[in-house]
A and B are shown apart, each in its own frame.
Chain A
Amino acid sequence: MSLKSKLKETLLCLKAGRVTLPYPARGHPAPEGFRGRPVFNAAKCTGCAGCANNCPAREILVLDVCQEIRILKYLGRRCAYCGRCAEVCPERAITMSQEFETATDSIGDLQQRLELFMSTCQRCGRCFDPPSVLEELKLKGYRLDDLANERWVFGSKAYLTSEPAVDDIRIEWD
């Protein structure tokens, strides 16, 4: 009986196979939707510092060196990877990457430092908001509509070319 149960156990063990991940030798990517280290994109960043204002751990520091240059520094020590910075960023300059292999022997390795150029108003010398969606819709410049004939006149004909925009749509021009 004992031998039989031992044989049975052996068979069961063989059947189970291996469950251990060969982890540090081969990578094991994080699942979809995992929030890892935030990555800052200096090309997209406008320097509004909304991330610094909304970080619950106060890990993003801002230093205005002069009127035109703003330094944004992400420390990453106590970052909880909550993704709040990526959520509030209006330019989508911060992305939560899938990186989790951030183990290091010096805590300064986690820092990211951005030196940003702040565009200033040429009259008052202060920074200004980028135009909102509503402001982009507003009319700029002059319009010369024909009031006598009640017709809409476009100042520019740049977008009324005779060539069709898409091949399969043909517009008949008279």
Chain B
Amino acid sequence: MLKTLCQKMSGRSLWVYHANSGGCNGCDIEVLNVLTPYYDVERFGIKLVGSPRHADVMLCQGPALRATAKALRRAYEAMPAPKLVFAIGSCACGGGIWFDSYPVIGPIEKLIPVDFYIPGCPPRPEAIVYGVAVALGLVDKKTAPAQFKQLELPVPRYHPKDLLGSGEMVVYEKAEKV
């Protein structure tokens, strides 16, 4: 559903609204860097607008704070209906390193539904362009959850089937490999 929405929206230009709910300004600078001619997201039709009423996409920086929660919620509700929210930076994705302090509620998704996450502290401008390109369907996402297991437990007593009797001694068959 999200993908079809993105495909539908990517036919036209995305207008973005830039909301900071209490970040340190690092991500703001990277977002503004993306709009400069060097990275130039206006190639994709992305334009920065000053009001959430004009915007299709909200770029959120900073964690959800007690002081700005209501304002952020109102800005989200002011956006017209097919809307996307990007959480940019570690604070917006997960609450930042002050996640457990009093003024911080947590990640942005505790207040408003988030569609795309761009982690980084701050994310590189390329990472933000990549996130936009993923949202537009130009490139595929590269991340996937990774799982590693130490399958071969390196102690012979956990592998009774590999223990071979030879005369009086018990030999571990895979002794060289471990």
| Chain A residues near B (Cβ < 8 Å) | 19-21, 23-24, 28, 30, 34, 40-43, 56-59, 68, 75-82, 99-117, 119
- B139's partner among A24, A43, A75, A80 (CB-CB below 8 A) is A24
- Tell me, yes or no, whether B62 is within 8 Å of chain A by CB: no
Contacts of B81-123 to chain A: CB distance below 8 A: 90-91, 93-97, 99-100, 107, 109, 115-121, 123
Q: Is the CB of A79 within 8 A of B119?
A: yes
Given A24-B133, A77-B90, A104-B97 contact (CB < 8 Å) = no
Inter-chain contacts of B131 with A (CB < 8 A): 103
- Tell me, yes or no, whether B166 is within 8 Å of chain A by CB: no
Chain A residue with Cβ nearest B145: A111
Interface residue SS majority, chain A: loop
- Tell me, yes or no, whether B142 is within 8 Å of chain A by CB: yes
- How many residue pairs link A and B with beta carbons under 8 A? The number is 147
Please report the C-alpha to C-alpha distance between residue A112 and residue B94 in the assembled complex, in whole angstroms: 16
Kindly state the interface size class of chain B when it binds its partner. Answer: 35 or more
Given A24-B138, A78-B90, A115-B148 contact (CB < 8 Å) = yes
Please report the C-alpha to C-alpha distance between residue A28 and residue B139 in the assembled complex, in whole angstroms: 14
Q: Is the CB of B149 within 8 A of A42?
A: yes
Q: Is the CB of A116 within 8 A of B119?
A: no
Inter-chain contacts of B133 with A (CB < 8 A): 24
- B117's partner among A58, A80, A104 (CB-CB below 8 A) is A104
Contacts of B125-178 to chain A: CB distance below 8 A: 126-131, 133-135, 138-139, 141-150, 153-155
Q: Is the CB of B97 within 8 A of A56?
A: yes
- Tell me, yes or no, whether B47 is within 8 Å of chain A by CB: no
Inter-chain contacts of B37 with A (CB < 8 A): 19-20
- A109's partner among B94, B130, B135, B143 (CB-CB below 8 A) is B143
- A20's partner among B43, B123, B134 (CB-CB below 8 A) is B43
- B124's partner among A30, A105, A110, A113 (CB-CB below 8 A) is A30
Inter-chain contacts of A56 with B (CB < 8 A): 97
Q: A40-B146, A105-B2 are in contact. List 12 more A-B contacts (CB 8 A).
A: A21-B38, A41-B148, A42-B148, A57-B90, A57-B97, A59-B94, A75-B94, A76-B119, A77-B94, A104-B141, A107-B117, A113-B147
Q: Is the CB of A107 within 8 A of B93?
A: yes
Inter-chain contacts of B77 with A (CB < 8 A): none
Q: Is the CB of A102 within 8 A of B95?
A: no
Q: Is the CB of B146 within 8 A of A112?
A: yes
Minimum C-beta distance from B31 to chain A (A):
13
Q: Is the CB of A109 within 8 A of B144?
A: yes
Q: Is the CB of A101 within 8 A of B142?
A: yes
Q: Is the CB of A105 within 8 A of B116?
A: yes
Chain A residue with Cβ nearest B136: A24
Please report the C-alpha to C-alpha distance between residue A108 and residue B145 in the assembled complex, in whole angstroms: 7
Given A80-B121, A103-B141, A105-B116, A24-B97 contact (CB < 8 Å) = no
